[in-house]
Chains A and B, each alone.
Chain A
Amino acid sequence: MIRLITLIISILGVSIGSANADPKKIGFIYIGPPGDHGWTYMHDVGRQYMESQLGDAVTSTYIENVPENADAVRAIRKLAASGHDLIFTTSFNYMDQTLEVANEFPDVKFEHATGYKRAPNVSTYSARFYEGRTISGHIAGHLTKTNTIGYIASFPIPEVVRGINAFYLAASKVNPDIKIKIIWAFTWYDPGKEADAANTLINQGADILVQHTDTYAPCQAAEKAGVLAFGQASNQEEFCPNAHLTAIEDIWGPYYAQRAKAVVDGTWAEKDTWDGMAEGMVVMSPYNSKLMPTDLIQEAVAMEVAIKDGTLHPFTGPIYDQSGELRVAEGEVADDFMMATMDWYVQGIDGELPQ
Chain B
Amino acid sequence: MNIDILFGVIQIILIATTPLVFAAIGELVTEKTGVLNLGVEGMMLVGAVSAFVTLVITGSYILAFLVSILSGILMSGLFAYLVLILMSNQVATGLALTIFGIGLSSMIGKKYIGTPITGLNPYFFVILSFIIVFFVSYFFYKTKLGLIFRAVGESHDSSHALGYSVIKIRLLGILFGGSMCALAGSYMSICYAPMWQENMTAGRGWIALALVVFATWKPGRILIGAYIFGGVSILQMNLQAWGLNFPGQFFNMAPYLATMIVLIIISSNRIRIKLSAPASLTIPFFKGR
Which A residues lie at the B interface, using CB under 8 A? 32-33, 35-37, 64-65, 150, 181-187, 189-197, 199-201, 203-204, 215-217, 220, 224, 238-239, 350-352, 354
Q: Are A33 and B8 in contact (CB under 8 A)?
A: no
Neighbour of B197 across the interface among A35, A186, A197, A350, CB < 8 A: A35
Q: A65-B198, A224-B119, A351-B245 are in contact. Are A37 and B113 (CB under 8 A)?
A: yes
Contact (Cβ within 8 A) B202 A181: no
* B89 located at the interface, meaning its Cβ lies under 8 Å from any Cβ of chain A in the complex: no
A203: which of B8, B243, B247 is its contact (CB, 8 Å)?
Answer: B8
B16 with A192: CB separation less than 8 A: yes
Contact status A183-B241, CB under 8 Å: yes
Q: Does B288 sit at the interface, judged by CB under 8 A?
A: no
CB pair A199–B12 under 8 Å, yes or no, is: yes
Q: Is B136 part of the contact surface with A, judged by Cβ < 8 Å?
A: no
Nearest B-chain residue to A239, judged by Cβ: B116
A200 and B9 contact, CB distance less than 8 A: yes
Q: Are A192 and B188 in contact (CB under 8 A)?
A: yes
Give the secondary structure class of A's interface: mixed
- Point out the residues of chain B lying under 8 angstroms from A239, CB to CB: 114, 116, 195
14 more A-B contacts (CB under 8 A) besides A33-B106, A182-B241?
A: A35-B198, A187-B202, A187-B252, A189-B202, A190-B200, A191-B192, A191-B200, A192-B19, A192-B193, A196-B12, A196-B233, A203-B5, A350-B243, A351-B243
From A189, A195, A217, residue with most partner B Cβ within 10 Å: A195
Give the chain A neighbours of B233 by CB distance below 8 A.
Answer: 193, 196
B165-217 with Cβ < 8 A to chain A: 188, 192-195, 197-204
In angstroms, Cα B237 to Cα A185, docked, is 8
Determine whether the beta carbon of B245 is less than 8 Å from that of A196.
no
A232–B176 Cα distance when bound, in Å, is 39
Collect the chain B residues with CB atoms within 8 Å of residue A217's CB.
Answer: 193, 195
CB distance from A205 to the nearest CB of B (A): 8
In the assembled complex, the Cα of A321 lies from the Cα of B242 at a distance in Å of 20
The chain A residue with its CB closest to the CB of B249 is A186
Complex Cα–Cα for A224 and B193 (A): 11
- Contact call B195/A216, Cβ cutoff below 8 A: yes
Pair A33/B199 contact, Cβ less than 8 Å? yes
**Residues of the A chain whose Cβ atoms lie less than 8 Å from the Cβ of B19:** 192
With A65-B198, A196-B237, A199-B12: A351-B244 Cβ-Cβ less than 8 Å = yes
Q: Is the CB of A215 within 8 A of B195?
A: yes
Give Cα distance in the complex from A220 to B238, angstroms: 20
- Give the residue name and chain of the A residue nearest to B118 (CB): A224
A197 to B238, CA, bound (A): 8
Query: With A35-B113, A37-B113, A200-B238 as given contacts, are A191 and B197 in contact (CB-CB < 8 Å)?
Result: yes
Q: Is the CB of A200 within 8 A of B12?
A: yes
Most buried by A among B116, B240, B242: B240
Complex interface bits, B12-49 against A, C-beta within 8 A gives 1, otherwise 0: 10011001000000000000000000000000000000
Does B130 interact with chain A (Cβ within 8 Å)? no
User: Provided the pairs A65-B199, A354-B248 are in contact, do residues A150 and B193 lie with their beta carbons within 8 angstroms?
Assistant: no
A352 touches B245 (CB 8 A): yes
B234 at the interface (CB under 8 A from A): yes
Query: Are B16 and A196 neighbours in the complex by a CB distance under 8 Å?
Result: yes
Please determine whether A182 and B195 come into contact, CB atoms closer than 8 angstroms: no
Contact B195 A191 (CB under 8 A): yes
Q: For the complex, what is the distance from the CA of A293 to the CA of B120, rounded to whole Å?
A: 32
A236 to B, closest residue via Cβ: B114
**For the complex, what is the distance from the CA of A89 to the CA of B181, rounded to whole Å?**
34
Which residues does chain A contribute within 8 Å of B245, judged by CB atoms?
351-352, 354
- The complex places the Cα of A164 from the Cα of B148 at a distance, in Å, of 59
